[in-house]
């Protein structure tokens, strides 16, 4: 399967964006990261990564799509992912391995939807196949956690509970498909800046960090209204404090009938849950009239994580 894909012009992988349906954040640990209890859902908005052989030792990338602010050099997270895979799993012939990655971006940059992590996850999978590397999904997730907190989930997808830095994953039972409207901004928010504001505001939870039981129960029974009511994000106040218009955007979505409205991760993308596809169309029209968002997208979840496209 891998060989066939290589011969037809590279290994092609697509990777979904994520929404955090719940995000409980504790204090910062000694490693500089906050401990989390989160519920991730992967949604049908994808970046694509194509890996083709390059000269021995070369690891490079080019970018297409929504790429403003994304580096195309060795600091690109996908390039770092390929390099890390080569070093750790390339074996004695690692110096012979080379790759050029073409990354087609649709996930908003610095948008709170793990676009950079998606590209890293895509690069890990595509290069593992291209180079015929013997690494199982757990190996890739472990490498992914070294690159970014959301990379293991981008490999896994569906709906999952994430703990520690968001890197320890357990599947969450869900029924049905959830229809979301995403309101995106062409001006990103820096994740470290949002966490810093979170700390400045003294918002870290002091008690036990646990995924929200009401949300998990609602997901397991497919009760979309209860899921909407249980959405929560501890970073939301910090994101709104840095970008006050997000508060207006969330209120506009609720006024227009969303069952739940939330900043996705560190923002500024906002996610609105609707009862079904028709309601999502109606809500996207209403939100596009507010001029509070640069882009409106309709997506559904859960969807699988990084996958080969044949
Ligand atoms: O892991 P990732 O590179 O996505 O994290 C970006 C930044 O977000 C980190 O450098 C850190 O400032 C912040 N962060 C955090 N706690 C987490 C995840 C991210 O403080 N659990």
Please say if the pLDDT value at position 4 is more than 50: no
For residue 31, how far is its CA from the centre of ligand 1 (angstroms)? Answer: 10
For residue 45, how far is its CA from the centre of ligand 1 (angstroms)? Answer: 22
CA distance 85 to 228: 39
pLDDT the model gives residue 66: 82
Alpha helices (runs of H) in 115-212, residue ranges in sequence order: 115-130, 137-147, 151-156, 191-200
pLDDT the model gives residue 310: 67
Residue-wise pLDDT tens digits, 44-92: 999 999 999 999 999 999 999 988 889 999 999 999 999 999 999 998 9
Please say if the pLDDT value at position 7 is more than 50: no
Q: Whose CA is nearest to atom 20 of ligand 1?
A: 33
Please say if the pLDDT value at position 8 is more than 60: no
CA atoms within 13 A on the CB side of 195: 18
9: confidence class by pLDDT, cuts 50, 70, 90: confident
For residue 191, how far is its CA from the centre of ligand 1 (angstroms)? Answer: 7
Please say if the pLDDT value at position 6 is more than 50: no
Q: Which atom of ligand 1 is nearest to the CA of 117?
A: 4
Answer yes or no: are the C-beta atoms of 218 and 268 closer than 8 Å. Answer: no
- Residue 180: CB within 6 Å of ligand 1? no
For residue 167, how far is its CA from the centre of ligand 1 (angstroms)? Answer: 11
Q: Which of 118, 100, 13 has its CA nearest to residue 61?
A: 100
Residue-wise pLDDT tens digits, 100-118: 999 999 999 999 999 999 9
Residue-wise pLDDT tens digits, 122-150: 999 999 999 999 899 999 999 999 999 99
Please say if the pLDDT value at position 207 is more than 60: yes
119 part of the active site:
no
150 part of the active site:
yes
- Residues 213-219 have a mean pLDDT of 97
Q: Whose CA is nearest to atom 3 of ligand 1?
A: 148
1: confidence class by pLDDT, cuts 50, 70, 90: very low
Q: Which atom of ligand 1 is nearest to the CA of 25?
A: 21
Q: What is the pTM of this model?
A: 0.95
Please say if the pLDDT value at position 305 is more than 70: yes
- Residue 33: CB within 6 Å of ligand 1? yes
Please say if the pLDDT value at position 222 is more than 90: yes
Q: Which of 247, 244, 254 has its CA nearest to residue 287?
A: 254
- Residues 232-249 have a mean pLDDT of 98
DSSP code for 237: H
CA distance 258 to 236: 17
Q: How do beta strands 178-184 and 295-301 pair?
A: antiparallel
- Residues 233-245 have a mean pLDDT of 98
Averaged confidence pLDDT in the chain: 95
Residue-wise pLDDT tens digits, 251-291: 999 999 999 999 999 999 999 999 999 999 999 999 999 98
pLDDT the model gives residue 69: 85
- Residue 36: CB within 6 Å of ligand 1? yes
């Amino acid at each position: 399967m891998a060989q066939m894909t290589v011969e037809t012009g590279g290994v092609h992988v697509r990777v979904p964006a994520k929404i955090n349906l719940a995000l409980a954040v504790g204090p910062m640990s000694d490693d500089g990261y906050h401990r989390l209890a989160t519920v991730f859902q992967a949604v049908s908005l994808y970046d694509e990564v194509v890996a083709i052989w390059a000269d021995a030792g070369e690891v490079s990338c080019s970018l297409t799509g929504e790429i403003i602010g994304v580096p195309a050099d060795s600091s690109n997270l996908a390039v770092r992912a390929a390099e890390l895979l080569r070093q750790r799993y390339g074996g004695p012939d690692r110096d012979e391995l080379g790759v050029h990655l073409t990354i087609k971006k649709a996930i908003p940059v610095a948008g709170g939807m793990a676009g950079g992590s998606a590209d890293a996850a895509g690069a890990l999978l595509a290069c593992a196949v291209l180079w015929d590397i013997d690494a199982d999904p757990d190996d890739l997730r472990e490498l992914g956690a070294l690159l970014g907190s959301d990379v293991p989930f981008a490999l896994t997808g569906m709906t999952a509970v994430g703990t520690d830095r968001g890197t320890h994953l357990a599947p969450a039972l869900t029924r049905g498909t959830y229809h979301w409207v995403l309101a995106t901004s062409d001006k990103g928010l820096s994740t470290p800046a949002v966490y810093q504001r979170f700390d400045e505001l003294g918002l870290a939870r002091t008690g036990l960090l646990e995924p929200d039981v009401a949300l998990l129960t609602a997901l397991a029974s497919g009760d979309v209204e209860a899921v909407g009511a249980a959405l929560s994000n501890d970073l939301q106040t910090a994101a709104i404090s840095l970008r006050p218009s997000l508060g207006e955007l969330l209120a506009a979505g609720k006024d227009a009938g969303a069952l739940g409205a939330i900043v996705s991760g560190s923002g500024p993308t906002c996610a609105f849950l609707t009862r079904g596809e028709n309601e999502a169309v109606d809500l996207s029209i209403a939100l596009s009239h507010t001029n509070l968002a640069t882009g409106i997208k309709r997506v559904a979840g859960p969807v699988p994580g990084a996958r080969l496209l044949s």
